[in-house]
Each structure stands twice: as structure tokens, then as C-alpha cells.
């Protein structure tokens, strides 16, 4: 679909990747960009339309759907990473919080906006997933569980919404240079690159956007070299996780 002239809603748009998505949409000619945030006062760009939105609260999601009834694009960007090993102390609580935002929040937004997109010609939904949708990293296993579940939600919605002409995209990236990855000493992708590749995917009508080299490499290795990939993850755990509580 065309970005120019579209009306988009971006969740978690007050900073980082969400802000990059909103700015990229404006730059690509979107007629209006709703910037969803728990604190709409944090949206200071005059080109954006602030919207109060907490994706974990049904009342907030319903209010956003009422406010943004002209939307043709939904970008589910809001996310949380607490990143616990699966058997570590506090892992259950961490995973519940991650699931609330990364899975149930995405589901709530898609259910609320699917009828709106249908009325407005079909449109597109883009869900920010992660390379850990495809594998389990032992050091942030609870986050990976939430992203793998979000992938299943995304794939199911794609099938259900095909008949109404709504494109459903999964976006995959490695570490993105935002606050979420601030403490990670690894190569990072710019938020702008992720946003631009996502818009290219919307224009092209694809189902999956590999937003950086890390996503391309992981996609290849998990499909064609799964045993070697799994061995590398085991070595990561064996080398770095000494002393983790169980």
C-alpha cells in the first residue's frame, strides 16, 4: 500500500524506535500520524498527533480506537524487555510483564483496529518482533518467549485478516540502538534503518521485514544450520551464566 496520504498510529511513539517510526511516516508523506504514549505530553513534535495509550489497559485501547477511527496503518512498537533466564529468580514475574505488553498488548491493538482498517480499505498492521522470535537466547529467555508468542499472534492475524485486505507484517531486528539495548555491548542497528525498511515492506506488501544484517544472518542460520546455532547458544550460557539462581 501507499504510505503517502495514509493515516498511521504508532504505539510507544514517545522515544526510540517508536519515535523513528513516526518520523519516517511523516517523511514518507503520511497525512496524519497518531503518536501513542502512556504520557501524551511526552510527544513534542508538532507534526504528530499525541494519543494517550497504554496497550495493557482495555479502556485505553478502546479510547484510542475511538479517537483514531481514520487509521489505515497500525504499527505495534510498544514493548518491554526485562530479560531473565528461564529458571532464574523472578523469571515468572518478568515473563508475565513481558507477555502483557509484547503479546496481549499487540493482540488487543489488532483486535481493536482490525474493524477500523477494514472500513478504511484494508490497510496494514506492522508488529515489531525480534530475531529472538526464531530462537531462545538463554540470557533473556523470558523476553524471547514473549516474542515467539507475538510471532504466533502475528502469523494467525495475517491469515484471519487476509480476506479483508489487511496486510500483517512481522518486523525482525537484532539489537537496535535505543534505551532498551543501552546496556548491551554489541553492534546495534539505527532505529531509522528499522523504520525505513518497515515502510519499504509496507509498500511492497511483504509478510516479513528483515530490518538488519543480524536478522538476515539469524534467519539463514536457524533454517539451514540449526545444530550449530543451538551449540553456540549453549556455549553462550555455559560461558556467561555461572552463578545464576534457580
Asked whether 164 and 121 are in contact (CB, 8 A), the reply is: no
**Cα–Cα distance measured from residue 180 to residue 5, given in angstroms and rounded to the nearest whole number:** 31
Beta carbons of 176 and 197 less than 8 angstroms apart: no
- Which among 34, 104, 143, 172 is annotated as catalytic? 143
List the end-to-end C-alpha distance of the chain, in Å, as a whole number. 49
d(CA 57, CA 208): 28
Residue linked to cell 501507499: 2
Residue 34: active-site member: no
Identify whether the C-beta of residue 92 lies closer than 8 Å to the C-beta of residue 47: no
The catalytic residue positions are 143
Amino acid at each position: 500500500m501507499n504510505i503517502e496520504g495514509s493515516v498511521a498510529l504508532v504505539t510507544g511513539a514517545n522515544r526510540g524506535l517508536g519515535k523513528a517510526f513516526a518520523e519516517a511516516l511523516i517523511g514518507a508523506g503520511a497525512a496524519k500520524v497518531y503518536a501513542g504514549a502512556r504520557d501524551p505530553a511526552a510527544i513534542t513534535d508538532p507534526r504528530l498527533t499525541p494519543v494517550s495509550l497504554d496497550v495493557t489497559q482495555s479502556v485505553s485501547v478502546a479510547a484510542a480506537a475511538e479517537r483514531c477511527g481514520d487509521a489505515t496503518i497500525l504499527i505495534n512498537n510498544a514493548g518491554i524487555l526485562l530479560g531473565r533466564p528461564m529458571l532464574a529468580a523472578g523469571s515468572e514475574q518478568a515473563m508475565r510483564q513481558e507477555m502483557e505488553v509484547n503479546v496481549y498488548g499487540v493482540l488487543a491493538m489488532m483486535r481493536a483496529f482490525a474493524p477500523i482498517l477494514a472500513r478504511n480499505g484494508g490497510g496494514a498492521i506492522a508488529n515489531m518482533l525480534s530475531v529472538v522470535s526464531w530462537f531462545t537466547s538463554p540470557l533473556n529467555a523470558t523476553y524471547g518467549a514473549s516474542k515467539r508468542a507475538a510471532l504466533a499472534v502475528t502469523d494467525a492475524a495475517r491469515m484471519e485478516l487476509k480476506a479483508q485486505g489487511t496486510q500483517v507484517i512481522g518486523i525482525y531486528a537484532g539489537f537496535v540502538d535505543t534505551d532498551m539495548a543501552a546496556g548491551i555491548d554489541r553492534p546495534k542497528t539505527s532505529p531509522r534503518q528499522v523504520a525505513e525498511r518497515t515502510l519499504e515492506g509496507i509498500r511492497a506488501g511483504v509478510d516479513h521485514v528483515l530490518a538488519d544484517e543480524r536478522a538476515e544472518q539469524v534467519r539463514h542460520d536457524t533454517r539451514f544450520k540449526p545444530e550449530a546455532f543451538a551449540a553456540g547458544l549453549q556455549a553462550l550460557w555455559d560461558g556467561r551464566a555461572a552463578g545464576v539462581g534457580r
